[in-house]
Chains A and B, each alone.
Chain A
Amino acid sequence: MNSFLRKNLVLIGTLVVIAALFAAAAQGMDKQDFVITLLRGLAVGSITFLVASGFSLIFGLLDVLNLAHGTLFMIGAYIGWTVFVRPDTFVDILTPLALILSGFALADVYPALTTRTRLGSSMKRILPWMLIVVSLLLFGYILPKYPIAIWDVGTYAQSPVTFAFMTSQGTRLPVAPIAFSEISSALAWVGLLLASVLAALGLSLFGNDVGQTRSVNWKNFIVFAVLLLIAISGSIFNDPFTNFLLGLSSNWLFVFSVLIAVLSGAGLGALMESALIRPLYSRPIYQLMLTLGLSAIGIEMVRAIWGRPEFVMPKPVFFNGTGDGCPATSFADWWTHNCSTILLWDGRVRVYNEIFIPLVGLFVLISIWLLLQRTRLGMVIRAGVQDREMVEALGINVRRVFTMVFALGVGLAALGGVLAAPSSGLSNVMGESLFLNALIALAIGGLTNYPGAALGSVLVGLIQQFIIKYGQIGIAIPFTDMVFKPSPPLVPASTVLLMVIILLILPNGLLGKKE
């Protein structure tokens, strides 16, 4: 115990100072203000944590600084919103998306086929490009004609803002059904499948893996078959499935949206790692440029599809009750009325924003911790963070683990996005400021330390919320009549200041280990 104290003296000292600061902060405000600010800080901290932990897992194991992480957080929010507000669009997209992905699911099969054919050297160089151009032409011809019921960013009455508003009022705008008119459905489906296979085949020809002998077995075709099944059932059961989703209570629809957002985030992450990042492991600078570029592309795509105006994802009714019996006075009372707010220590606390989000954050914190400590995958991750080469030398397929961890990290960011959508709303820039917060949180907590990510995120969230609160009520300066009100620009500045101070005392962050 004594040696533990001595080893962690600086850390404990820092934590005591921070705790004292919060205790001092509590003196200047009412109890209800303090509780609300504390909860808000925890909520902001939770969302920050979801982004920061994914980023830190990816950086720790893969050494990839994923600068697109904030953008992926934002994309998660927009995908969740789409499923929640426009389930019909989601169902319409299923079939073409599954078809586009199906060709890539066979990625392991192509090398086995192509190594058996002998090609001239010039043909070898041209063929991949030809395949990709043909597939792009096919995509370009078919996709614009593919009927997908979607909003119209240009007209206000059909814009996402209106749809979001109407859904929050409990009514949905009627959507005109769209059917194949310009091209036949069979042509579109076969064309997409063909284009996808050609694109994947072309991409596989670029890599010249020496001595790679892959055997093809039935397992390679499982994902392909599943995707085809999704595509077929998506088109046959389009209407029943849409009606089923629309008929769901908003609670279940919300759960479903969160699930889809997380899964698409994970899928996007896996795709990004296997297709774009993997060829660049030996060139870290290129990786950095790539993720930076992807981030910009992501933001522009979101602007093109969902438009620039901000809108809010409606809350599920579970957290949105008003009227009789609201605000709830206790949790039992809240359980019967599902009020949007609850009275705690005389303060009105918003249940979704300030109680639900921190709880989810806590849940994720514990689940990922269990994953890291109790499973074989977690063991591989912890070992790989320290020494990737040795893990490989033990015969463990690290590449597969890389893809999984990237998927997990992006999935967590997407979860953060979709959870933040009902509380702080959706905007094109929601990712950037949060990503900056997450980076600061990681610097404070220790860059590749999982508990450190949580601690840093919570600290950042708390500091910001307390500064905001004091901006409203002011700090009385002792022995004078003056009141100091921190101005809004001090909010981001304060976290950076905290980071600088902590890094000066503990260069590896609060919980980071010395390299």
Chain B
Amino acid sequence: MENILDVQDIHTFIAQYHILQGVNVRVPKGSITALLGRNGAGKTTTLKSIIGLLTPRQGRVVFDGQEVQGMRPYDIAAMGIGFVPEHRAIFRDLTVEENLKLAERTKGDYLRKKEFIFDLFPDLKRLIALPGTSLSGGQQQMLAIARALVAENKLLLIDEPSEGLAPVLIEHMMKAIRELSKDSTVILVEQNFLVASQLAQYYVIIEEGRSVQQGSMKDLVNDKPAIHRYLGAA
């Protein structure tokens, strides 16, 4: 299958710290791929290196057939990558609607996608005029994902969508991610292995800044030793 994203042996530094020491990620088009690994393994750093918020010193990031490493984040994002960061990063001073409108890349994106987004997250519709500050954690997470859906994105990077959510909300979130993955490829960073294993078709395990194992999620679910070794008891 064709890969929409091919991360080849990237090394990324934060200040003088060598965080990523050779990460390879191949993401087949139309799939959900989960980045797995313990806290501090470098999953979020990998996402940031893809979108350009951190610049890899070595290696290549090929998105949609074009090398993007070293480009500015807004140029990379404009090629069709949506980013849902850890802790959501909702703009507090903007209303829900403004948060969504800000994500427009061409005029009218928001109006075109409005219906799709509100079908996915009906809650957002009634919160539309409220400022970002007044949303609950779950609502913020929905808004953060919705924001990545406004523009035509071929790839969505979603960092820890289930973090801090009540189980019933996690269910809802999973349904939404499954729904939106029909239109675009998704890379998911997820601590909760249960969630990841139910959503993703592929996985990459990152351990101490290196990608150590990747393949089909079906195989990993049966590979108890690997789960235990890399992810702790799951």
Contacts and interface: CB of A to CB of B under 8 A. Distances in A.
A393 B94 contact: no
> Among the interface residues B67, B98, B99, which one has the most CB atoms of the partner chain A within 10 A?
B98
A216 B147 CA distance: 32
A387 B72 CA distance: 16
B61 to A, nearest CB: 10
Contacts of A398: 74
Contact of B91 (A387, A393, A395, A397): A387
The range of chain B's interface size is 20 to 34
B72 A393 contact: no
A387 B51 CA distance: 16
B105 interface: yes
> Among the interface residues B67, B78, B91, which one has the most CB atoms of the partner chain A within 10 A?
B91
A387 B93 contact: no
Interface in B50-64: 51, 53
A190 B75 CA distance: 37
Contacts of B129: none
B53 A386 contact: no
> Among the interface residues A211, A386, A390, A398, which one has the most CB atoms of the partner chain B within 10 A?
A390
Interface string A372-393: 0000100110110111011111
A382 B105 CA distance: 18
A383 B53 contact: no
A386 B77 contact: no
B67 A390 contact: no
Contact of B94 (A210, A383, A395): A383
Given A383-B91, A383-B93, A386-B93, A391 B102 contact: yes
B157 to A, nearest CB: 9
Contacts, number: 68
B151 interface: yes
Interface in A205-227: 210-212
B14 interface: no
SS class of chain A's interface: helix, strand, loop or mixed? helix
B4 to A, nearest CB: 17
Contacts of A390: 83, 85, 89, 91
A392 B53 contact: yes
B70 interface: yes
Contacts of A386: 91-93
A394 B69 contact: no
B206 to A, nearest CB: 20
A396 interface: yes
B153 to A, nearest CB: 9
Nearest to A381: B93
A383 B102 CA distance: 9
B7 to A, nearest CB: 15
A392 B72 contact: yes
Contacts of A125: none
Interface string B85-121: 1000101111000110111010000000000000000
Contacts of B71: 211-212
Contacts of A395: 74, 77-78, 103, 105, 151
A11 B67 CA distance: 53
A327 B70 CA distance: 67
A398 to B, nearest CB: 6
Given A379-B102, A395-B151, A211 B78 contact: no
A134 B61 CA distance: 41
A3 B77 CA distance: 40
Contacts of B92: 386
Interface string A396-407: 111100000000
Contacts of B89: 387, 389-390
A144 B98 CA distance: 53
Given A211-B70, A392-B72, A395-B78, A379 B53 contact: no
Contact of B98 (A379, A391, A396, A397): A379
Nearest to B85: A390
A506 B213 CA distance: 53
B93 A382 contact: yes
Given A211-B70, A379-B102, A383-B91, A389 B53 contact: yes
Given A379-B101, A380-B102, A393-B51, A399 B93 contact: no
B73 interface: yes
Given A211-B67, A382-B94, A387-B91, A394 B72 contact: no
B101 A392 contact: no
A390 B51 CA distance: 11
Contacts of A383: 91, 93-94, 99, 102
29 contacts: A210-B70, A211-B67, A211-B69, A379-B98, A379-B101, A379-B102, A380-B102, A382-B93, A383-B91, A383-B99, A385-B93, A386-B91, A386-B92, A387-B89, A387-B91, A389-B73, A389-B89, A390-B91, A392-B53, A392-B73, A392-B74, A393-B51, A393-B83, A393-B85, A394-B103, A395-B78, A395-B105, A397-B72, A397-B74
Given A394-B103, A398-B74, 4 more contacts: A380-B102, A394-B147, A396-B74, A399-B72
Closest 6 CB pairs of A and B: A395-B77, A211-B70, A395-B78, A392-B73, A393-B83, A383-B91
Interface of B: 51, 53, 67, 69-75, 77-78, 83, 85, 89, 91-94, 98-99, 101-103, 105, 147, 151
